[in-house]
A and B are shown apart, each in its own frame.
Chain A
Amino acid sequence: DAKTTQPNSMESNEEEPVHLPCNHSTISGTDYIHWYRQLPSQGPEYVIHGLTSNVNNRMASLAIAEDRKSSTLILHRATLRDAAVYYCILRASGGYQKVTFGTGTKLQVIP
């Protein structure tokens, strides 16, 4: 199974951009890169996903390296509500693949 590596924790000041890195050096050509986040005492929620091109939505942007061995989740202006654990996971297209949620990156937002 392709694995991902993320820093255990990061800090950001409120209203500043945050770049959350994820390494996935063993990614295969059919793996999509998904990001979820888990707010305190809640279930995970979907943030964004992509395959090769950079992606934007109302929550965040996803920048994918040209060789796809790493990606970065970008929160353009961190708010206190963005304090959460962020998970980077890989999901293959077609059929069912067991997905592993690692320990993620705990983001602390400082007022």
Chain B
Amino acid sequence: NAGVTQTPKFRILKIGQSMTLQCTQDMNHNYMYWYRQDPGMGLKLIYYSVGAGITDKGEVPNGYNVSRSTTEDFPLRLELAAPSQTSVYFCASGRHQETQYFGPGTRLLVL
């Protein structure tokens, strides 16, 4: 199993641009999550999904959108990128309320 994979690894965006962060898991997990981690800080939940077709907001959803059309994929969309969205983004998956498995992260710089 590849586990949780994320693309791209690193991206530079200009203010106002849009992009989609990709996340895929091959463990047939129903729960998937998106977090952001600012320098020296803990993780903050952006959005989560409890299954295909079901998503909900986390702590810091503003400026982001998600979709979950399949069990495997959970893309995160940034519309109108802002410098405040400069961060490292982690995707995670898990079965019900059990262990979360994290991807390697995407480093995003908005200039």
Contacts and interface: CB of A to CB of B under 8 A. Distances in A.
Interface in A34-49: 34, 36, 42-46, 49
B74 interface: no
A95 B56 CA distance: 13
A43 B42 contact: no
DSSP majority for the A interface? loop
DSSP majority for the B interface? strand
Contact of A98 (B58, B99, B103, B105): B58
B97 A103 contact: no
A91 B41 CA distance: 20
Interface residues of A, number: 24
23 contacts: A43-B90, A43-B102, A43-B104, A44-B90, A44-B92, A44-B100, A45-B102, A46-B99, A46-B100, A91-B97, A93-B97, A94-B97, A95-B97, A96-B31, A96-B56, A96-B97, A97-B97, A98-B48, A98-B58, A98-B59, A99-B45, A101-B44, A102-B42
